[in-house]
Structure 1
Amino acid sequence: MDYYAHRVAVITGAGSGIGRALAVNLARRGTRLALSDQNAEAVAETARRCQRFGARVLTDTVDVTDRQAVLRHSAAVHEEFGRVDMVFCVAGVIHTGRLINSEFSDFDHVLNVNLLGVVNTAKTFLPLLISSGGGHVVTVSSAFGFFSAPCYTAYSASKFAVRGFSESLRQEMRLDGHPVSVTCVYPGGVRTPIMRNGRFAKGEDSAAVTKRFDTKVARMDASRAAAIILLGVRRRQAQVFVGADAKIAWILVRALGSAYQRLVLWVGRR
């Protein structure tokens, strides 16, 4: 029997990108799904794709920065399925531009969604994961969670924080003897609408940045990324690197230490 068959998986940010790809992949495997996104039409479309495989799906429109909304969603999931086996905290946003040209509100938006959204989701569902007897929290950081670059101060800050949060939570689960695994995912360039839907600081050429991301950075299809993630989760890996670019970045940081920043500047000036 497939590892994921008959399990209950919660996925935030399920309306597009990696969240949608995870949902469809799991639907094929017989997983019962609780899908949420801030975009009601998008998550409904994901649900339709999953239901074509006969999956049992609960959908909800949830802003992960709204703790009360996340709590209501958790209650609805528990009422529908009676249990939760795994939670994929995928919802995320990006902001591009130098800090001096950025609005406080844009910085707050990225931190609230990318970090506090993960905290809200993980904390809310943790009791259900513990009671399942073998739960799993899956967070999504980024290659920018250990490898920083100019013009992504908010995004890097949030993804570095997700990495630290995940490692600390993993230690807590082990220290307290709870049967909950924690996997932190580090995607490199994956083809998702995150940049097209992102925010940009004053003076940024949003069209050029988006085109560069789509043509030069985002080389991996979201469905391939989902397959890599699910393999790592099944193996209960602490870290999952999605793409050679993410793994190379990790190796460079470990090999060069803070000196990698000089390499980033050199590449950026070319």
Structure 2
Amino acid sequence: MKSFTDKVAAITGAGSGMGRTLAQSLARRGCHLALSDVNEQGLAETAALLQGSAVEVTTQRVDVADREAIYAWADQVVRDHGKVNLIFNNAGVGLGATVEGMRLEDFEWLMNINFWGVVHGTRAFLPHLKAAGEGHVVNTSSVFGLIGVPSQSAYNAAKFAVRGFTESLRQELDILRCGVSATSVHPGGIKTNIARAGRVDPSIATLGADPKSANLKFEKNFITSAESAAETILRGVAKDKRRVLVGPDAYMIDLMVRLLPALYQRLTVAVTRKHI
């Protein structure tokens, strides 16, 4: 998709962070927007920021873990805008917990949003993208979809799954030559509220982390702005990239995993033990 002008993009998690900045970046490019989030106040704030832009903007409260709600929203987007060309499955949550200590309810909560939300969003919008004749599926994985780290087993599981799901989808679309493509996005530390809003289980104390301050300490490693991340993602989509790395830390981690696929785990364990 070389140009976003007069296209229609649907974005989940548009009430804050990268979802909001993606909406703003697309609006500047003349792309009409269908925005959703479970946080209605944040969604309204995003819509207010877009007032005065020369594009049509619609909003809808959607819980991406609710399959029926996503399918209903996809149909509504087409009724409202006449078509849809892009779906950004961007909504996500965080969870810090050990495998042994993690509550099953928290694991299911994260997977329902971070993985099944992507699956539902992709499947709900894909027929509409094909019908438009030109489309793109943009699924947000993470650098934690490239590397495993302690206390992030649930997040790793979801983001690795998103990566595999999207890479398989991309290959199927290449075979079909249906005018639709797909990109897997791997952000590093992006300055959004995902860490602050994430859940933390007391079990991470066994790994040497303080459950009360873990999210704030983790957030200090975020070095890339949401605005910069949005621009990087859109450039990648315009170039039809299969994988988009976002931020210098993402490139560093990708290189480390390629060069040291087993050794990086030993290094991570050593650092964690020293911290404990």
TM-score normalised by the chain length of structure 1: 0.96
Report the identity percentage.
43
**CA displacement at 1:199 relative to structure 2:** 0.8
Q: Distance in 2 between matches of 1:20 and 1:268?
A: 34
Q: Distance in 1 between matches of 2:224 and 2:177?
A: 37
State the partner residue of 2:207.
none
| Aligned equivalent of 1:212, options 212, 217, 233 | 217
**CA displacement at 1:162 relative to structure 2:** 0.2
Q: Distance in 2 between matches of 1:50 and 1:59?
A: 12
Stretch of structure 1 that moved more, 46-55 or 185-194 = 46-55
Q: Distance in 2 between matches of 1:62 and 1:89?
A: 12
Structure 1: gaps (5+ residues): none
- Size of the aligned set, in residue pairs, is 268
Matched, 1:49 2:20: no
Q: Specify the SS of the correspondent of 1:54.
A: coil
C-alpha contact (below 8 Å) 1:28/1:50 kept by paired residues: no
Query: Could you say what the CA RMSD is over the residues aligned between the two structures, in angstroms?
Result: 1.3
Q: Distance in 2 between matches of 1:224 and 1:176?
A: 33
Matched, 1:253 2:232: no
Q: Distance in 2 between matches of 1:229 and 1:206?
A: 32
State the partner residue of 1:3.
3
Matched, 1:70 2:75: no
Matched, 1:241 2:241: no
Q: Specify the SS of the correspondent of 1:231.
A: helix
Q: Distance in 2 between matches of 1:207 and 1:10?
A: 36
C-alpha contact (below 8 Å) 1:95/1:199 kept by paired residues: yes
1:76-91 to structure 2, matched below 5 A, reads 76-91=76-91
Structure 1 runs (4+) greater than 4 angstroms displaced: none
State the partner residue of 2:199.
199
TM-score normalised by the chain length of structure 2: 0.94
C-alpha contact (below 8 Å) 2:190/2:222 kept by paired residues: yes
Q: Specify the SS of the correspondent of 2:262.
A: helix
